[in-house]
Structure 1
Amino acid sequence: MTLIDAIILAVIEGLTEFLPVSSTGHMILASSFMGIASDPFVKLFTIAIQLGAILSVVVLYFKRFFKTIGFYVKLLVAFIPAAIFGLLLSKKIDQMLESPMTVAISLVAGGVILLFVDKWFNQPTIHEEEEISYLTALKIGFFQCLAMIPGTSRSGASIVGGMSMKLSRKVAAEFSFFLAVPTMFAATGKKLFDFYKEGNTISHDQIQLLVIANVIAFIVALLAIKSFIGYLNKHGFKVFGWYRIIAGLIIIVLIYSGHNLQII
């Protein structure tokens, strides 16, 4: 992996991690076009650069993270399903990651859902994070588990889950951002553990790539989150739905045209 590769992937991570468009699907297209070989460090890299995106949430919503203990309890409750299913289904998830077609179908299916989600859930009753109950948080956590299917989108699944629980679009999106913090920390920690457990090491140059990529992902994610919330309040999810459908169809066309797509 070159420095240019790392920068491009970091920009993609920052742009797509918190949008309901699936960062995995975009990683497939980018890695395929750039010809990035899949190896243990590259797989670690794509997970570890999420830390930069995590920090953007903490910075943007700094006061929220020092408000009440109940806030952390809700995040913990919502995180539990992903922690349990992630451990139980880790091998199955790895198998699905070998299937670009799974990602393509998930992108298209999720896109169709986003075309109609604003009409389905257009009468929210929860307009503040404090109004979210622990049971509602748990249910949103189960929706987040759908993102274990590559191409589904963690943010998309949890936002739609929140809206189905009567959260407003803004509150559902923000709670999805908050939930990303423990989820991404756990995913990065597990990936690091597995990386070293398999006997791999990180060179000085690779550490530099990780640092640079995390800084870029942090900056881009800051802009993406602020822009997304503003756009979402005015226009809803339809544009993201069409975008996902187009991206999924592109992957399907590439597969049937003989391109060797790989998920890094």
Structure 2
Amino acid sequence: MEYINVILLGIIEGITEFLPISSTGHLIIAEQWLGERSDTFNIVIQAGAILAVTIIYWRRLMELALNFHKPENRDYALKLIVAFGITAVLGLIVKKLGFQLPENATPIAWALIIGGFWMIAAEALAGRNPPTTQISWTVAILVGIAQVVAGVFPGTSRSGATIFVAMLAGSVSRAAAAEFTFLVGIPTMYAASAYSLMKTLKDQGTAGEDWTLLAIAFVVSTIVAFIAVKWLLSYIQSNRFTVFAIYRIILGAILLSMAYAGMIA
């Protein structure tokens, strides 16, 4: 049964990490039925999802690194670096201040609902102007800030917040916004995972960890995230994000009802 539970958690992480529906929110709720996991476990399955996106974008990353001398690549790479730098600095400040919302169903449900309506409104507003594939400095700065906001509020969705900020700030097309935010997310999430892992190992060690279960969850998360992101990149070429917004609103309403009924905490 334990193997089934970790496989399910790996699947949930793989599907939800980069879809705009909040992986943190889904995992917090799922753990109420599948059993709470250690911080190390959660870091490991997130690392699997990051690896999947790294594999998907490895050609783009190599192009930016090896052809940095080209003006268009240098400009794009510098904007990625600035966005990551803003996230890193603000993220450390937030960590030092100890600001974090309670990770229970009610705030997550409200974040899902509000985020759903925000997505519908944001895409409608962004759609009024001709879409562009160019990423402006304003977009880079706001994406960096949005990543921190999403990290503070469980249920917000890092990918959702950053993609729609990019679309609103520069009328960026869905595909261009998704690529930029995913590329920014790679170093951001690696750094956050490494920071969290070192802190966890320092405070708690690895006693009691089942490395077989960790390995299974990591592999499952990697494979599922790879499939989910490839599907998403294809889907948004000709479709809006409306289906994800509706899903968030419905799920949030269900979670609120269950929380008020005392079925979940």
Same fold? TM cut 0.5: yes
Shift of 1:94: 6.4
Partner secondary structure for residue 234 of structure 1 = coil
Deviation digits for residues 131-187 of structure 1, max 9, x if unmatched?
324443122211222202111000000000110122100111111211111111112
Structure-2 residue corresponding to 1:126 = 132
Q: Which amino acid aligns with 1:184?
A: M
Which is further off, 156-165 or 140-149?
140-149
Is residue 2:114 matched to residue 1:109?
Answer: yes
Structure-1 residue corresponding to 2:143 = 140
Q: Matches of residues 24-103 of structure 1 in structure 2 within 5 Å?
A: 24-34=24-34, 36-37=35-36, 42-68=38-64, 69=68, 70=74, 71-90=76-95, 95-103=100-108
Structure-1 residue corresponding to 2:187 = 182
Structure-2 residue corresponding to 1:19 = 19
Q: Alpha carbon RMSD of aligned pairs, Å?
A: 2.1
Shift of 1:224: 0.6
Could you tell me how far apart the structure 1 residues matched to 2:115 and 2:41 are? 26
Q: Which amino acid aligns with 2:12?
A: I
Which is further off, 155-164 or 171-180?
171-180
Could you tell me how far apart the structure 2 residues matched to 1:119 and 1:135 are? 20
Q: Which amino acid aligns with 1:141?
A: G
Q: Which amino acid aligns with 1:248?
A: G
Question: Structure 1 residues 202 and 82 mapped into 2: Cα distance closer, same or farther (>3 Å)?
Answer: farther
Q: Which amino acid aligns with 1:217?
A: S
Kept in 1: contact 2:28–2:104 (CA 8 A) = no
Kept in 1: contact 2:17–2:23 (CA 8 A) = yes
User: TM-score, structure 2 length as denominator?
Assistant: 0.87
Could you tell me how far apart the structure 1 residues matched to 2:171 and 2:146 are? 14
Which is further off, 61-70 or 156-165?
61-70
Q: Matches of residues 182-261 of structure 1 in structure 2 within 5 Å?
A: 182-203=187-208, 206-261=210-265
Shift of 1:255: 1.0
Question: Structure 1 residues 85 and 100 mapped into 2: Cα distance closer, same or farther (>3 Å)?
Answer: farther
Could you tell me how far apart the structure 2 residues matched to 1:32 and 1:99 are? 10
Question: Structure 1 residues 37 and 216 mapped into 2: Cα distance closer, same or farther (>3 Å)?
Answer: closer
Share of identical aligned residues, percent? Answer: 39
Could you tell me how far apart the structure 2 residues matched to 1:132 and 1:126 are? 8
Which is further off, 151-160 or 72-81?
72-81
Kept in 1: contact 2:90–2:145 (CA 8 A) = no
Q: Which amino acid aligns with 1:210?
A: L
Shift of 1:93: 6.3
Structure-1 residue corresponding to 2:4 = 4
Aligned length: 253
Question: Structure 1 residues 224 and 45 mapped into 2: Cα distance closer, same or farther (>3 Å)?
Answer: same
Kept in 2: contact 1:75–1:182 (CA 8 A) = no
Q: Which amino acid aligns with 1:7?
A: I
Could you tell me how far apart the structure 2 residues matched to 1:28 and 1:115 are? 25
Shift of 1:23: 0.7
Could you tell me how far apart the structure 1 residues matched to 2:218 and 2:102 are? 23
Is residue 2:174 matched to residue 1:169?
Answer: yes
User: TM-score, structure 1 length as denominator?
Assistant: 0.88
Could you tell me how far apart the structure 2 residues matched to 1:31 and 1:92 are? 27
Unaligned stretches of 5+ in structure 1? Answer: none
Unaligned stretches of 5+ in structure 2? Answer: 69-73
Could you tell me how far apart the structure 2 residues matched to 1:256 and 1:137 are? 40
Could you tell me how far apart the structure 2 residues matched to 1:139 and 1:238 are? 22
Kept in 1: contact 2:18–2:229 (CA 8 A) = yes
Partner secondary structure for residue 51 of structure 2 = helix
